[in-house]
């Protein structure tokens, strides 16, 4: 595949996919909460840009709405809300020392390879561009999960959760030119409610364990202590 011979849309999607993947890795290695939220907003912006490019090149008007939704929700509202909560709870000074940072990064890299491996059968049915786009979105989802596993703070969990949603939106836009409008609206609505609920939960967790370190959420277990 020679990238110079591809049309504008394909080139743009491939570059944006690479950048979206990169932001996932940046989030994975980030120990400071506020920077984590910032990188998450950047990923949202890239996603909105991808959607807009797809809408422009293929002349699908409803994708503009979906791009606008992403911009409002993922770039402005959720990062703003998380940032405000973090400052309010005076959490921004907690720098999380990541244990085994290099192992986590290597794990992330293998997850990306794994995504390509899983989706390889699709190559026979479609172009390499599609494989790249789908594999990157799957790896954004898996990296989001790894982020949730490797970080201890509740805020990092929320960012991981939302970045999984980013991966899903990326797949929907690039592979299928966007889901039907009613589904996109429904999913966006779910994400919005989830974000608000997360905000409520921060306060509950804070009052119940006096911190937002989810490692301390360990009262329930299979065996009575």
Partner 1 sequence: MIAAYLVLLIPLFGMAFFSLAGHRADSGLLNIRLNAVNLVATVWLAINVLREGTILSSGKAFLIDPFNVYLIVLTAFVGLTTAIFSAPYMEHEKEIGRLNDARLKLYHAMYQGFMLSMYLVLMTNNMGILWVAMEGATLATVLLVSLYRTPESVEAAWKYFILCGVGIAQALFGTILLYYAAEQVGSLENALLWSVLYENADKLNPEVLEIAFVFLLIGYGTKIGLVPLHNWLPDAHSEGPTPMSAVLSGLLLNDALYAVVRNKMLVDGASHSDMAGFLMMGFGLLSFLVGALFLHRQKDIKRLFSYSSIEHMGMMTFAFGIGGPLATFAALLHMTVHSLTKSAIFVTVGHASQLAGTQSMEKIRGLIKTQPEIGWGLLIGTVSIAGFPPFGVFTSEFLVLLATMHSYPWLAPLLLLGIGIAFAGLFRHIQPIVYGDKPEGQQPIKANLWPVMIHLGLVLWLGLAIPGFLADWFSQATILISGSAPL
**Measured from the CB of residue 155, what is the shortest distance to partner 1 in angstroms?**
13
- What is the rounded distance in angstroms from the CA atom of residue 102 to the CA atom of residue 21? 17
Closer by beta carbon to partner 1, 61 or else 219: 219
Q: Binding mask 124-143 vs partner 1 (x if CB under 8 A, - otherwise)?
A: xxx-------x--xx--x--
Strand, helix or coil at 119?
Answer: coil
Q: Which of 116, 109, 115, 118 is nearest to 22 (CA)?
A: 109
Q: Sketch the per residue contact string, 194 through 223, with partner 1: x for CB under 8 A, - otherwise.
A: x--xx-xx--xx--xx----x--xxxx-xx
For partner 1, the closer CB: 5 or 60:
60
Closest CA to 54 of 5, 14, 22: 14
Handedness of CA 108, 114, 118, 119 (dihedral sign): positive
Find, among 183, 185, 197, 191, the residue nearest to 163 by Cα.
Answer: 191
Neighbours of 183 (CB within 10 A): 11
**95/182 with CB nearer partner 1:** 182
Please report which helix (H) or strand (E) contains residue 112, including its range. Answer: helix 101-118
According to CB under 8 A, which one of 145, 199, 211, 213 is a site residue for partner 1? 145
**Number of amino acids touching partner 1 (CB under 8 A):** 52
Of 84 and 186, which CB lies nearer to partner 1 in the complex structure? 186
Using alpha carbons, select from 71, 17, 67 the residue that is nearest to residue 41.
Answer: 71
Q: With binding defined as CB under 8 A, does residue 179 bind partner 1?
A: yes
Q: How far is CA 60 from the centre of its chain?
A: 24
Question: Are the CB atoms for 152 and 213 separated by under 8 Å?
Answer: yes
* Best CA proximity match to 55, nearest among 46, 63, 44: 63
- For residue 122, the minimal CB distance to partner 1 (Å) is 6
In whole angstroms, how close is the CB of 212 to partner 1 at the nearest point?
Answer: 11
Considering only 9, 38, 64, 161, the residue that binds partner 1 (CB under 8 A) is: 161
> Minimum Å distance from CB 4 to partner 1?
27
- Asked if 42 touches partner 1 (CB under 8 A), the answer is no
Which residues of the chain form contacts with partner 1 (CB under 8 A)? 118-119, 121-122, 124-126, 134, 137-138, 141, 144-145, 148, 154, 157, 161, 164-165, 167-168, 171-172, 175-177, 179-180, 182-183, 186-187, 189-190, 193-194, 197-198, 200-201, 204-205, 208-209, 214, 217-220, 222-224
């Amino acid at each position: 595949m020679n990238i110079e011979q591809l049309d504008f849309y394909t080139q743009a999607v491939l570059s944006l996919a690479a950048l979206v993947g990169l932001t996932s890795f940046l989030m994975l290695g980030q120990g400071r909460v506020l920077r984590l939220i910032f990188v998450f907003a950047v990923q949202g912006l890239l996603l909105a840009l991808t959607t807009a490019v797809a809408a422009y090149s293929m002349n699908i008007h409803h994708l503009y709405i979906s791009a606008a939704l992403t911009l409002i929700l993922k770039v402005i509202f959720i990062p703003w809300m998380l940032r405000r909560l973090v400052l309010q709870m005076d959490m921004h000074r907690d720098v999380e020392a990541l244990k085994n940072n290099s192992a986590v990064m290597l794990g992330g890299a293998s997850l990306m390879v794994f995504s390509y491996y899983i989706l390889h059968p699709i190559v026979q049915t479609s172009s390499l561009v599609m494989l790249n786009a789908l594999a990157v979105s799957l790896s954004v989802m898996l990296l989001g999960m790894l982020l949730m596993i490797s970080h201890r703070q509740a805020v990092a969990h929320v960012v991981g959760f939302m970045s999984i949603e980013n991966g899903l939106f990326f797949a929907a836009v690039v592979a299928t030119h966007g889901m039907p409008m009613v589904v996109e609206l429904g999913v966006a609505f779910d994400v919005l409610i989830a974000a608000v609920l997360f905000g409520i939960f921060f306060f509950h967790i804070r009052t119940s364990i006096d911190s937002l370190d989810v490692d301390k959420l360990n009262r329930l277990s299979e065996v009575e202590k």
